[in-house]
Structure 1
Amino acid sequence: MTNSLKLVSAQPKATPGVVASAAYTGGRRVAEIPIEAAGEWSRKPGHVVWIGLHEPGLDLLRQVQKEFGLHDLAIEDALKAHQRPKLEQYGEALFIVARTAQMLNGRIAFGETHLFVGHGYVVSVRHGASTTYTPVRERCEAAPKALSEGEDFILYAVLDFIVDNYMPVIETIQAEVEDIEDSVLSANPTRDQMNRIYQLRRDLLRLRNAAVPLVEVCRRLEQPGLPGVDASMYPHFRDVSDHIRRVQEEIESLREVLAFAFETSLMTGQAQQTEITRKLAAWAAILAVPTAVAGIYGMNFDILPELHWKYGYPFVLLMIAIVCGWLYWRFRQKQWL
């Protein structure tokens, strides 16, 4: 009893890589705990330990592994980013990888969140571009009845937060795509616009590859038999799956619009080249008349019908002007000029 009181009253020292570390019972926070005491708290009946880490080093992960008995392979994956979204079961513990996304400097920046879930504990490990999960913790603490569900509710809350953060990214891209579509239809596309269309399509493909595998993760979380996941939470994970499918539909829609804009820009460019070719051909035809006449006069003939005629030179110039004017008028009628 004395040891417990000491743990509750003592504030853990700040540890690099540790964002938050707390113990909960009945949906309410009862203590800020150090990592070295997390295992003991998680084994207390009715208690859940929730630890948040940000880009931890190997020593910190080994300490967490010691407290909860985590698998070596899961620790190895959590140390290195660039994992595909997945769910792995190691004995009575789950290891989940999810990809996060946010807009930075006009591009989608991706990060990762690794989740260790077992009886009495949840450990989240963030890598790369990712917003803090402090709002998730605050929201859960504001609803103690829901938080009292335990580690599976915390898992749901984190996954739901990750998926919900995809939508601001999509909305930002959607606004830009609408501007690009309007500019492509109203004016000739520039090289920068073409490059931007390509970048957005590539980023959306990466976002789809990050989001869609979470459908399979949630589907597995809905299956009976997974440790720490109660049947009452199945509808919540199904709701997350629905959100992911909506994200997927939005991504596919935006990619189609960008593909249309890209094709339109190509067709516009081709039409512009055709228009230029027509104009050049028309002017070449017009200039061919004085060129031909001048070529005839340049031949070395002593006797030409109009050579010694007083009005021969003005007459030829007049005929050139009449023929060129008539060609110009015809080309304007055919909209070549």
Structure 2
Amino acid sequence: MNEGLARVNCSVYRQGVKRGEITIDEIGTALEQQDTFVWLGLVEPDNELMERVQEEFDLHELAVEDAQKAHQRPKIEEYGETLFVVLHTVTLAGQTIHFGETHVFVGRRFVITVRHGKSNGYGSVREKTENTPARLATGPGYVLYSIVDFIVDHYQPCMDTLQYRFRQVEKDLFLPNPPAGNLEEFYNLKNELLSLQAAAGPLTDVCTQLLRFHGDIIPKENRIYYRDILDHVARVTESADRVREMIDAAMQVALAQVTIRQNEVVKRLAGWGAILAVPTMVFSWYGMNFDVMPELTWRWSYPCVMLGIVLVSVFLHRRLKRVGWL
């Protein structure tokens, strides 16, 4: 992969101010200066590029191996003086939610983001942090906060979209003839909701570990921002729990309605079966091969039999219809 295609941006910052963009080969020289850190952004880099990045920043091979692969669970791991953080991202396209990943390496002098799948770029995050030089001067810990905050801010709109889609399907649930795809839509909603919970839930542990054990990277003045993220994550997970319970209840109702409709069909079939049983029984009676059946020679036997069948069938039809079986 061409470096220009995989590298989003590589900038050097000194005392909270951006000093310019550099190439990967210039990173070592830039880090020789005091009060300087580098922010490198990558999108699905190939092995060759990741090996170069590994050499420049002295990254652990296990962390680099994880960063090259998507489908990692959200987590935080420590490799010497470097933190490796895996975050799941969400992107809205209309009412469809797309999931991606961002892997972040954080050291005292650098931040590296590696994006996989569909995710929003971090250009707006760079602009926001560069407009607050006093906070940016605290180092890579503030950049990590800005990235996590940006990702978490996209969770709530997705949660609101799932709630809206649920309400749209729920209102059709008690129609006389609800749409056939209701149950499938509930199932799809639950899958997306579980994926969103899987993205947001582990961030509580990630932020807690950052606050408790990594004061060298997360200075005291930045900890209040991570507590704000914890509040946002808590709201999302609580909303997700409520919606999941509502979806579970709606799925139970939808399944019960399917059973009720099936029972109605069975009742109607049973009702018509009862009506048809009368002529079937009479015809089978007179189909027996007896030599002596006196009523066969009676002049009015046929009209009486047919009239009896009609009367009994009409009576059964009216009776069954009255009790709701037809």
Counterpart among 204, 208, 211 of residue 197 in structure 2 = 208
Using the TM superposition, give the Cα deviation of residue 20 of structure 1 relative to its aligned residue in structure 2, in angstroms.
Answer: 0.8
Q: Tell me whether 1:78 sits opposite 2:67 in the alignment.
A: yes
> What CA distance in whole angstroms lies between the structure 2 residues aligned with 1:72 and 1:316?
93
Task: Judge conservation of contact 2:3–2:49 (CA < 8 Å) in 1.
Answer: no
> What CA distance in whole angstroms lies between the structure 1 residues aligned with 2:77 and 2:284?
85
The one-letter code matched in structure 2 to 1:56 is: P
Task: Judge conservation of contact 2:27–2:38 (CA < 8 Å) in 1.
Answer: yes
> What CA distance in whole angstroms lies between the structure 1 residues aligned with 2:103 and 2:230?
18
Which position in structure 1 is the counterpart of 2:43?
Answer: 54
> What CA distance in whole angstroms lies between the structure 2 residues aligned with 1:91 and 1:300?
99
The one-letter code matched in structure 1 to 2:169 is: I
What are the ranges of 5 or more consecutive residues in structure 1 without an aligned counterpart?
1-12
Task: Report the more deviating stretch, 62-71 or 158-167.
Answer: 62-71
Task: Report the more deviating stretch, 120-129 or 292-301.
Answer: 292-301
How many corresponding residue pairs? 324
> What CA distance in whole angstroms lies between the structure 1 residues aligned with 2:120 and 2:33?
31
Task: Normalising by structure 1, report the TM-score.
Answer: 0.86
Which position in structure 1 is the counterpart of 2:164?
Answer: 175
Task: Report the more deviating stretch, 125-134 or 224-233.
Answer: 224-233
> What CA distance in whole angstroms lies between the structure 2 residues aligned with 1:272 and 1:15?
60
> What CA distance in whole angstroms lies between the structure 2 residues aligned with 1:177 and 1:184?
11
Task: Report the more deviating stretch, 122-131 or 163-172.
Answer: 163-172
| Cα 1:307–1:14 shift into 2, 3 Å | closer
Counterpart among 281, 293, 312 of residue 323 in structure 1 = 312
> What CA distance in whole angstroms lies between the structure 1 residues aligned with 2:226 and 2:248?
33
Counterpart among 218, 221, 224 of residue 207 in structure 2 = 218
What are the ranges of 5 or more consecutive residues in structure 2 without an aligned counterpart?
none
The one-letter code matched in structure 2 to 1:141 is: E
Q: Tell me whether 1:110 sits opposite 2:99 in the alignment.
A: yes
Following superposition of structure 1 onto structure 2, how do residues 1-337 of structure 1 map, counting pairs within 5 Å?
A: 15-103=4-92, 108-186=97-175, 187-188=177-178, 190=180, 192-301=181-290, 304=293, 306-337=295-326
> What CA distance in whole angstroms lies between the structure 2 residues aligned with 1:225 and 1:20?
26
Task: Judge conservation of contact 2:8–2:43 (CA < 8 Å) in 1.
Answer: yes
Task: Report the more deviating stretch, 208-217 or 249-258.
Answer: 249-258
SS of corresponding position for 2:212: coil
Using the TM superposition, give the Cα deviation of residue 68 of structure 1 relative to its aligned residue in structure 2, in angstroms.
Answer: 2.6
Which position in structure 2 is the counterpart of 1:4?
Answer: none
Task: Judge conservation of contact 1:43–1:120 (CA < 8 Å) in 2.
Answer: no
> What CA distance in whole angstroms lies between the structure 2 residues aligned with 1:171 and 1:48?
37
What does the per-residue CA deviation read over 1:71-125, in whole Å, with 9 as the maximum and x for residues that have no partner? Answer: 2222222222222222122222222111122356976433221111122321111
What does the per-residue CA deviation read over 1:296-337, in whole Å, with 9 as the maximum and x for residues that have no partner? Answer: 333345655544444433333222222222212221221111
> What CA distance in whole angstroms lies between the structure 2 residues aligned with 1:301 and 1:78?
90
| Cα 1:327–1:23 shift into 2, 3 Å | same
Task: Report the more deviating stretch, 159-168 or 315-324.
Answer: 315-324
SS of corresponding position for 1:15: helix
> What CA distance in whole angstroms lies between the structure 1 residues aligned with 2:276 and 2:210?
77
| Cα 1:268–1:102 shift into 2, 3 Å | same
Task: Normalising by structure 2, report the TM-score.
Answer: 0.89
What does the per-residue CA deviation read over 1:38-63, in whole Å, with 9 as the maximum and x for residues that have no partner? Answer: 23323423333211111112332232
The one-letter code matched in structure 1 to 2:218 is: V
SS of corresponding position for 2:70: coil
Task: Judge conservation of contact 1:188–1:269 (CA < 8 Å) in 2.
Answer: no
